[in-house]
Structure 1
Amino acid sequence: MSLAGLFPIDKWNFKSQSILNNLPEDEFAVLSSHMLEQRYRKGEVVFRKGTVADGIFFIKKGKVKKYQVDRNGKEQIIYVANAGELIGYHAILADERYADSAATLEECVIAFIPREDFKTVLERSGLLAKRLLKALSHEFTVLTNSITVLAQRSVRERLAITLIVLREKFKEETLPGAEIMINISRIDLASMVGTGDENIVRFLTEFKAAGILTSKGRKICIRDVKQLIKLSGCGSTD
């Protein structure tokens, strides 16, 4: 089921998947000249907040969470990046260290592009610069929207929104006609919503009893997207 006209998904998803698409051959050749591809197990750290930004990361397969850790060691997931997206490039553009951390949510294949190669292409490519500026502008809107929701929406509404967004992310790798399964731990889901995992379990049980979803282990299948959108308070009439 498409969310078109029902839920403003663009307010919740970054748009970095098209940044490297169809770049001129010579520019892409520079980017890929020293590209190193690596396989990551689930839960492996890709980079940590405060470390030197030596390059950017292009996710070829899998999903990666970007997160912050507070003084008490509690994790807050900022965003989940899909295959095809770039992460780590903000630090290069700002000439700073990584401002957050990233770790895999599942087995991933990620290509590392050295800082100098990325900057070389950026300096010569008006197309890449234009795409990055557009992506950054959109990400600012997404993050502002997310902060507002955390402050103003209930836990139930935030969970509904998060499940809708995750459904779209897992939909991309699901074969046509197959059930969309959201595969995420309750701890990570709680970190995205900004609440305790006990609240997540309670509301998932409530949603399950209402026929909105089914679950088995980590996996969640949304059965009634329209009802979930209604609970989110972010439908087309919101």
Structure 2
Amino acid sequence: MELQGHERCVSRVPIFSHLEMDELEEVFQKVNHRQMKKGEYLFMEGDISSALYVIHKGKVRIYRLNDNGEEQLIRVLTHSDFTGELSLFSDDNESKSYAEVLEDAEVCRIDQKDIYDLMNKYPNISIKVIESFAERLNDSESLTTNISLLNSKEKLLEYIKTHRSDEQLVLTMTKKHLASYLSMQPETLTRTFNKLEAEGYISKINNKSYDILK
């Protein structure tokens, strides 16, 4: 059996990728597929939600607002990324974040009850979910540490170190969103990029790509 079209979005999600083809087909039978436009929201702060959202096409940004109403970008989701997993295993299903569509998107939604049924039938899904939680917790703790302890240059260098591919950095988000993710103003990010270029750390290819020289 071969999965077609947006069914593949489920097969590439880490918590399902180990399943056999017929098992993946069973997962897909529980999926609600939705087309979304740029500017729409999967959910907003205060919404009640207990579902897993998988991005098949497009981009979705997850962010929170601090006490001053300033945005803090958490992550940008693209093909096969997912969000909403925390609400599946908590009594508090009130969202603390916003999920805004950055590019027209196709999104697969799986409700909490269906996830539980799948976990009971295929216990390895539970293990994959725990692994996913651990990875995201580690990322969150690293980001918190970087924001509180590092200066702007150190933050950007750490980002380059963890997101480089061989000798290049290709940004997967706009610089405005990267600035939010690194907890700095866009103007500060621009100056920091320029400083790293002047110091010979990077060489600009275009607005989203850089050669890494050191």
Query: Which band: TM-score by shorter chain?
Result: 0.7 to 0.9
What residue number does 1:124 align with? 121
Find 2:99's aligned residue among 99, 102, 122. Answer: 102
What residue number does 1:22 align with? 18
Provide Cα deviations, 1:211-235, integer angstroms capped at 9, x if missing partner. Answer: 513264xx321211x52xxxxxxxx
Q: How do 1:201-216 residues align onto structure 2 when only pairs under 5 Å count?
A: 201-211=190-200, 212-214=202-204, 216=206
| Superposition RMSD in Å | 2.7
How many residues align? The count is 200
8 Å contact from structure 1 (residues 167, 180) kept in 2? yes
Q: Which has the higher contact order (CA 8 A, sep 6+)?
A: 1
8 Å contact from structure 2 (residues 62, 75) kept in 1? yes
My pick for the range that moved more, 89-98 or 19-28, is: 19-28
Distance 1:162 1:107, change over 3 A: farther
Q: How do 1:111-150 residues align onto structure 2 when only pairs under 5 Å count?
A: 111-150=108-147
8 Å contact from structure 1 (residues 17, 85) kept in 2? yes
Counterpart code for 1:50: G
Provide Cα deviations, 1:152-209, integer angstroms capped at 9, x if missing partner. Answer: 11111112223444555xx9xxxxxxx8642533321110110111101211222333
Provide Cα deviations, 1:7-36, integer angstroms capped at 9, x if missing partner. Answer: xxxxxxxxx942111324565344322423
Residues 1:60 and 2:56 aligned together: yes
Distance 1:190 1:180, change over 3 A: closer
What residue number does 1:195 align with? 184
What residue number does 2:83 align with? 87
8 Å contact from structure 2 (residues 155, 182) kept in 1? yes
- Return the TM-score normalized by structure 1: 0.72
Structure 1: any 5+ residue segments left out of the alignment? 1-15, 172-178, 228-238
Question: Equivalent pairs: percent with the same residue?
Answer: 20
User: Residue 72 of structure 1: CA displacement?
Assistant: 2.5
More strand by share: 2
Distance 1:116 1:139, change over 3 A: same
What residue number does 2:42 align with? 46
- Return the TM-score normalized by structure 2: 0.79
Residues 1:72 and 2:65 aligned together: no
The 1-side partners of 2:101 and 2:154 are apart by: 26
